[in-house]
Amino acid sequence: MGCMPVEASLLDWIGNRGRRCSVGEAAAGTGLSLREVEPGLLALVAEVSGRLQAAEDGTLLFVFPPALRMRLLARSGRRRLQARLQVALRLAARLIRLSFGLVLLLVTTLVVLILSVLLIVRLFSSDDGDDAGLALLQGLAQVPLSILDLLVSGIRSPARGGSSSVKPQQLWSLLWDLPGEGADPASLGFLSAVFSILFGDGDPNARLEPLRWRRIAAFLRLHGGVVIAEDLAPLLDLPDCPSDPDRRRDLADAAMLPVLLRFDGRPEVSEDGDLIYGFPSIPAGAAGVDGPVPPLRERAFRFSRAGAGQRVAYGLTVGALLVLSPWLLAITPAWLPPVAWLARFAIGYALLLLLLPLARLPLQHWRNRAIAARNRRRQAWAQAARHADPQLKRRRAAARRLGAAEAGRPAPRVVYDSGRDLLEQTIDDLAAGPRPTA
């Protein structure tokens, strides 16, 4: 993970109200590793002229002022440039997302208009076939009207407003609203729906890894930083859960290495010779419920967030292009090559809009099968940990005793603050006297 993602995660966790935290607290809150968090906190506290505090047990505390993001932007031209660049990139991504729908509507409109003009010219230049020509023109006029009716049918229903009239801003939102940008937080305009049907809506588990590590850190805090491997197994990617308890223990212990490396954990041996894991760098929180952590669940891929009416409108528009574009190409005069080029482009674009979603279906099915299999494995590990045998109960009790001892320790006293005069701190420490030990 690069520097910028680490900094962004820390800024999101610290927020705008300011915070005093240790490296372990920041790692537990963000899910980042201790090796990533410490230099990130040092860089931030130096850049905003924050304060450093040292506790009597050697813990280093970082004190950040409120409005941290605004202070960083005010102090650094590079950060202001990066913020503007991010806005420009988001705008470019939005334009790319909307462009597929814009091209579809533009090409369909041009094909219908040019085909109508050519039919009208033929109608007036021919003495026979008037009824057939008029019928064709009426059919062409129904194409855009049918598509528009499908799009406005949702907002025209009484369930959404109790009125059959459609406001201009609602028609505007049909095209332009992106997810979360309209009056409805789940709004999706038709232009965005075209992109959604064509390419999908991205990976629903894109932030699964940060979520996994935050849940692991939260579980460690709730258990005083002392756990057994089987209780963390539902959050890890393990093979199928075996029925043999010894085999389950070996697999769970082998999967603990990344957790130990990330949060500076140490394997320990209890009085009964059982293997448990301590994480002294993770601060203990309120006591949690004894037992395994709930399993991590991945979300299945959806084909598209587009509504039923938008999907039908998409299919009708693409189908109209596939039918009308070859017809336009067939009746285009030789002295109008741009119209022939438009017809060929419309045929190719319509085929792309038809075949790409169809090609996504087997890939989506394969991905969802793999996701379901991983979810079943984690659920099986959670069920096995809940139905504990006597040996597992003994190991869990040993971890609970050590965790309770860690959680019962009083918070260490701050013995140094970089924001205060050293002589003043010395006088205050002498006046406070020695702190009683637990």
Provide the pLDDT for residue 187. Answer: 61
Question: What would you measure as the largest C-alpha separation in the chain, in angstroms?
Answer: 112
Domain boundaries along the sequence of the chain: 1-75+414-438, 102-157+164-407
CA atoms within 13 A on the CB side of 274: 23
CATH 1.10.3470 fits 1-75+414-438, yes or no: no
Cα–Cα distance measured from residue 210 to residue 207, given in angstroms and rounded to the nearest whole number: 6
pLDDT in tens, 26-75: 998 898 999 999 999 998 988 888 888 888 877 888 888 888 888 888 88
Cα–Cα distance measured from residue 195 to residue 202, given in angstroms and rounded to the nearest whole number: 11
Contact 67, 74 (CB under 8 A): no
Sites in the chain below the pLDDT cut of 50 = 1-2, 154-164, 166, 171, 178-185, 437-438
Q: How far separated are the first and last CA of the chain, in Å rounded?
A: 41
Query: Given the DSSP bridges, would you call strands 266-269 and 414-417 parallel, antiparallel or unpaired?
Result: unpaired
Tell me the two tokens of residue 125: 């230049």
Phi/psi at 20 (nearest 5 deg)? -110, 125
Cα–Cα distance measured from residue 314 to residue 297, given in angstroms and rounded to the nearest whole number: 33
pLDDT in tens, 194-231: 999 999 998 999 999 999 999 999 999 888 889 999 99
Provide the pLDDT for residue 302. Answer: 92
Alpha helices in 126-176 (DSSP H): 130-156, 158-161, 168-176
Cα–Cα distance measured from residue 396 to residue 232, given in angstroms and rounded to the nearest whole number: 12
Query: In sequence order, what are the beta bridge partners of 60?
Result: 54
Tell me the two tokens of residue 186: 């789940």
Cα distances (angstroms) measured from residue 405 to each of 372, 394, 402:
39, 17, 5
Provide the pLDDT for residue 247. Answer: 93
Helix 390-407 to helix 245-254 angle (10° resolution) is: 40
Rounded to the nearest 5 degrees, what angle is found at the Cα of 190, between the Cα atoms of 188 and 196? 70
